[in-house]
Amino acid sequence: MFIDARQLDDGSAIACDVAIIGAGAFGITLARALRGSGRDVVLIESGGLDFEDETQALYEGATDGIAYNLDTARLRYFGGSTNHWGGWCRPIEPEDFEARAWVPHSGWPVSRADLDPYYPRAQEICELGAFDYSVENLARLGPPLGLPGGKIADGFFQFSPPTRFGERYRDDIANAADIRCLLNANVTEIVAAHDAGSIARLDVATLTGKRFTVTAGTYVLAAGGIENARLLLASRSVAPAGLANDRDLVGRYFMEHPIFGPIASWICDAPERIAPYYGSYTALGDAVARGCLSMTPEYMAREGRLNTIFTFTPNDDVRYLPGRPAEDGPIPLETEMLTLLAGVEPGVEHTGKRVYMGCGTEQAPNPDSRVTLADEVDALGMPRTRLAWQITEGDRESLLANVATLAAAMGAWGHARLRRIVPADFAWNDIDMFWAHHHMGTTRMAAQASQGVVDANLKVHGLGNLFIGGSSVWTTGCGATNPTLSIVAFALRLAERLRAGEA
């Protein structure tokens, strides 16, 4: 059921078995998966059922370094940022979980096998097709590129409608006898017990001035990849450095997926070969799919690179006479690219496809890229977020090397020529690029408390009854794999453990 917290009595004390902070992809999935478990769930959501300026303004903050709009990069009402997500989905690759000698701070304490049992159900929740991301499945759209050299892998995304969790699952929450969803309820502090070994209660406030508490046996923080860190750092009445922050890890290692659209253009004289990569919405069985290319694990290990995922936007057909641009033909640069294609006979007209290539790229975990608290406070008196996001020269070098590697593989293939259209010395804030709005790393997962904030089961190290959900627990950026499908899978995994009494 829904309860408008503004109608509660000031000073109310609400008790439950499981308190979940945030009704986004993680919080809604976890609450739904706990229905009928015998656990009484309170889902605490800052916003109402629709967007409201005053609540959204609680997300405003300051940035150092890379310019970033903290407000528009997420949404603060029931359903969270799934109210405007794009629906691009792929599972995290098995190799992304492994420690990579050339990527400091890499290596998750879980493996892909730990998530595999939950991905099929997560696919259903995100309204995707079958959990089959194999190249064999892609081949149903046409032959994958299979570029020579073993450095470039074929793959694809599936598209969610996109599922607006707040609309799609609203009735489930409204009708569940064992879920109370408090709307317009902002957690302002997660208050630790005096020994700081467990959580004692949540302090909650409304923008109308009501203050109340929620106590639970188990607490789950699922307020989004940036807000999870902010709330822990602001919870300092018992632990002055912030909750779970004894080792100064909370807020550090912030990663995003820089997205370029486009980073390269290319000409292909075999348009039929790129059919699996056309457009955004191609039916693939019961899924909607779009092909992509990425770097193979062998290449990344050999060359010491991060991953980049490339997507294609085929544009117009081009007709050309090699060596002589037709009046309505390709621009000179492309003519030059065309003449380099294998099998091109001078003086004979050919046809091809002009293609623009976008990409999303991985950042290495970096402790100096971080979320901290600003001096300014919001309307509830909570310190606002300060984001000092860094993208390193290593991240740039890796991206440029990956583009060059792709260009070389296409050249070796013979049917395409690629040219990078972003200068090598580009400034991150000045070019045709944007961010994916994937907020990762600020409460990273690690087996040891010295290396991370949560353990393999999302439990906060050193705190008996607090769990964290969402992409803030990501240890690495996982190529440019969009996180929401995996966020949902992790929520299902935690629900199973809670239901079994293992957590």
Tell me the closest approach of the beta carbon of residue 20 to ligand FAD, in angstroms. 9
Residue partners of 423: CB distance under 8 A and separation at least 6:
none
Give whichever of 72 and 450 is closer to ligand FAD, judged by the CB atom: 72
Looking at 421-475, which runs of residues are DSSP E strands?
433-435, 466-468
- Closest approach, Cβ 426 to ligand FAD, in A, equals 23
Which H helix or E strand runs over 386? Answer: strand 383-389
Neighbours of 347 (CB within 10 A): 8
Nearer to ligand FAD, 366 or 484 (CB): 484
**Could you give the dihedral angle defined by the CA atoms of residues 80, 106, 244 and 372, in that order, rounded to the nearest 10 degrees?**
-60
Q: Does 360 sit near ligand FAD (CB under 6 A)?
A: no
Query: Taking the complex as a whole, how short is the minimal distance between the CB of residue 84 and ligand FAD, in angstroms?
Result: 5
Q: Contact with ligand FAD (CB under 6 A): which of 224, 352, 365, 411?
A: 224
User: For residues 318 and 487, which CB has a smaller minimum distance to ligand FAD in the complex?
Assistant: 487
- The gap from C-alpha 402 to its chain's centroid, in whole angstroms, comes to 21
**Does residue 292 bind ligand FAD (CB under 6 A)?**
no
For the record, the structure tokens of 378 come out as: 């919001």
Closer Cβ to ligand FAD, 223 or 341, answer by number: 223
**Binding-site member from 5, 19, 43, 47 for ligand FAD (CB under 6 A):** 47
Strand 416-420 relative to strand 258-268: parallel, antiparallel, unpaired?
antiparallel
d(CA 503, CA 495): 9
* Of residues 22 and 330, the one with the C-beta less far from ligand FAD: 22
Contact 494, 458 (CB under 8 A): yes
CB 435, min distance to ligand FAD, A: 9
**The dihedral of CA 398, 400, 404, 410: what is its sign?**
positive
Stretch that binds ligand FAD, among 85-93, 241-249, 290-298, 397-405 (CB under 6 A): 85-93
What is the closest distance, in whole angstroms, from the C-beta atom of residue 288 to ligand FAD in the complex? 13
Is residue 87 close enough to count as binding ligand FAD by CB under 6 A?
Answer: yes
Contact stretch for ligand FAD (CB under 6 A) within 87-95, 289-297, 327-335, 424-432? 87-95
Count CB atoms within 10 A of the CB of residue 325: 16
As given in the structure block, the two tokens for residue 392 are: 């390193």
Residue 458 φ then ψ, to 5°:
75, 5
Q: How far, in Å, are 75, 96, 375 from residue 82 at the CA level? A: 8, 24, 30
The runs of H, that is alpha helices, within 286-344 are 297-303, 332-339
- With CB under 6 A as the rule, give the number of residues binding ligand FAD: 39
- Is residue 490 close enough to count as binding ligand FAD by CB under 6 A? no
Q: Which residues pair with 159 in a beta bridge?
A: 88
List binders of ligand FAD among 167-196 (CB under 6 A): 186-187
User: Least distance in Å: CB of 158 to ligand FAD?
Assistant: 10
Residue 72 identity (one-letter amino acid): T
Residue with token string 């609450």:
31
Q: Does 164 bind ligand FAD (CB under 6 A)?
A: no
Using CB under 6 A as the binding rule, whether residue 484 contacts ligand FAD is answered as: yes
Q: Can you tell me which of 105, 354, 438, 444 binds ligand FAD, judged by CB under 6 A?
A: 438
- The count of other CB atoms within 10 Å of the CB of residue 317 is 10
Find the binder of ligand FAD among 293, 483, 490, 494 (CB under 6 A). 483
* 365 touches ligand FAD (CB under 6 A): no
Binding footprint of ligand FAD on the chain (CB under 6 A): 21-27, 44-47, 73-74, 76-77, 80-82, 84-89, 186-187, 222-224, 227, 231, 437-438, 470-471, 482-484, 487
